[in-house]
Amino acid sequence: MNRTAERWGPYPLVMAGAVLGVLAIFLVDAEWGGFALGAVLLVAAAVRFAGYGGALAVRTKNVDAPTVAVLGAALVVTALFLEYPDLKAQLLALFGR
């Protein structure tokens, strides 16, 4: 069995997605680049939660997966608010503000 591939796990895939997301922020559109970066973080959280950590496994799974998931969800929601300002107004109206 190839131990090097097992040690890295999904890390190169997540890293490539993060680089593409950041490039999209600077070169294409900040909203969709942020959305892509958030989506990559959500995928990383799912992979970490499933137990395929590899180099993503910095802390325990119980700390890593929720932390990365919250950050990814925050990026996705922020990107959606930037792209669709009416969505933010509707959400604030829902909570009575």
Residues 1-54: tens digit of each pLDDT: 455 555 676 778 888 999 999 999 899 988 889 999 999 999 988 888 887 766
How much is the pLDDT for 39? 94
Of 67, 71, 21, 64, nearest to 55 by C-alpha is 64
How much is the pLDDT for 97? 62
Residues 40-89: tens digit of each pLDDT: 999 988 888 887 766 666 677 788 888 889 999 999 999 988 888 888 88
User: Helices marked H in 1-97 — which ranges?
Assistant: 3-8, 11-27, 30-50, 61-83, 85-94
* Residue 2 CB neighbour total at 10 angstroms: 7
Total-model pTM: 0.78
